[in-house]
Structure 1
Amino acid sequence: MSDKLPPEVAEAHWAKTRNLMWVSLAIWAVFSFFIHMFVTVLNGVVIAGFPLGFYMAAQGSLIVFVIQIFWFAHRQNQIDEEFGVAED
Structure 2
Amino acid sequence: MADNSNDEVPETETNAAEGAYWRENIRLLVTLMSIWFICSFGAGILFRDWLDQFSIGGYPLGFWFAQQGSIYIFIALIFVYVIRMKKIERKFDLDD
TM over 0.5: yes
Which structure: larger Rg? Answer: 2
Paired position in structure 2 for 1:22: 30
TM-score, structure 1 as length reference:
0.82
Paired position in structure 2 for 1:7: 15
Give 1:53 deviation, angstroms.
1.1
Supply the RMSD in Å over aligned alpha carbons: 1.8
Aligned residue for 1:6, secondary structure, equals helix
Letter in 1 for 2:23: A
Give 1:49 deviation, angstroms.
2.9
Deviating 4+ runs (over 3 angstroms): none
For structure 1, the 5+ residue unaligned runs are none
Paired position in structure 2 for 1:70: 79
Question: Percent same amino acid among aligned pairs?
Answer: 31
TM-score, structure 2 as length reference:
0.76
Letter in 1 for 2:25: T
- 2:24 equivalent to 1:31: no
C-alpha separation between the residues in 2 aligned to 1:32 and 1:56?
A: 7
What is the aligned length? 84
Paired position in structure 1 for 2:63: 54
Give 1:14 deviation, angstroms.
1.2
For structure 2, the 5+ residue unaligned runs are 1-10
- Please, which moves more after superposition, 42-51 or 32-41? 42-51
